[in-house]
Amino acid sequence: MSISEECLVHLSADDLATPDGARFDYTCSPRPFSSLAYMESGFAEFWEGEAYHVLREGEVVLIPVGACYRSCWHGSPSRAVSIHFHFSPLAYPYTKGRYAVQVIPGSDSLHAHMRAILSRITVQEESMALLSHAYAMASEAYRRLSYTPVPAIDERLRRAIEYLDSPSMPPISMDELAMQCNLSPSHFYSLFRAALHTSPVEYKNRAAIRHAEQLLLTDRALPIEELATRLGFSSATYFRYVFTRYTGLSPRAYRARGSGL
């Protein structure tokens, strides 16, 4: 495995001061990135399906990418530092297994890494230190997280996944993409669905919307029209239609809701 495979493709941070009784509902809107939140004061409740967790002071909660959950925060206010991140699906830790919402004990070093990320996130001159803290945070946290093992992704799909995950690549047909993987279209579709539990077209659409969600939450000054163009949509109108179909919210409403937890 090469270091280049450990690809961090998104990083942002929030210093959360949440009013007592605040509720967030993402049961119909999968998270576009993973989040680690360190509870500094107060406590919070999380529900993912039938699973229930309580996050207390000094503990850390993982909200994995794609999670559908709801939460309720308690404190006057509750305070937490939250780091949002996303790795390439071909990179550790996502290749290792499937993660669920879960709570783990915090540590002084993990808290320090998360606070360092928050303080450096907007300072360009600190970009190397920022990445160092981000990888150290992920390494410490993921060593202690539980997961459901999943089969390794077939290496023949690597080029396809890299293409579908990039919003700026020139458009090609799925049959052409299959040829680039040295697979027949039928074999390509079969392998892809078996590995990623979705079709290549659906995966590409979901990846584009995930990028849109990330940009809406982290670049609030970016006009919707420019965002749609950047992600390769034919028009802002079509982007709004697709975004609403996948998330249940318009881009404007999604941005207004904020990143929350």
Q: Angle, nearest 10°, between helix axes 158-165 and 200-218? A: 40
* Residue ranges covered by each domain of the chain: 3-149, 155-257
Count helices and strands (H / E) in the chain.
9, 9
How does residue 94 score in pLDDT terms, banded at 50, 70 and 90? low
CATH of domain 3-149: 2.60.120.810
Q: What is the third-level CATH fold of 155-257?
A: Arc Repressor Mutant, subunit A (1.10.10)
Asked whether the CA dihedral 222, 226, 231, 235 is positive or negative, the reply is positive
CA distance 37 to 16: 9
Tell me the residue type at 231: L
84 forms bridges with which residues in the sheet? 12, 35
Q: In the predicted model, what is the mean pLDDT of the chain? A: 88
Whose CA is closest to 172, among 212, 134, 204? 204
Share of the chain above pLDDT 90, in %: 51
CA-to-CA distance for 227 and 242, rounded, in angstroms?
13
Q: How confident is the model at residue 95 (pLDDT cuts 50, 70, 90)?
A: low
Give pLDDT tens digits for 116-169.
999 998 887 888 899 999 999 999 999 999 999 887 788 899 889 888 888 777
Residues sharing a CB contact under 8 Å with residue 237, sequence separation 6 or more, in sequence order: none
Closest to 88 (Cα-Cα) out of 3, 211, 6: 6
Q: What is the pLDDT of residues 44-63, one digit of tens each?
A: 999 999 999 999 999 999 99
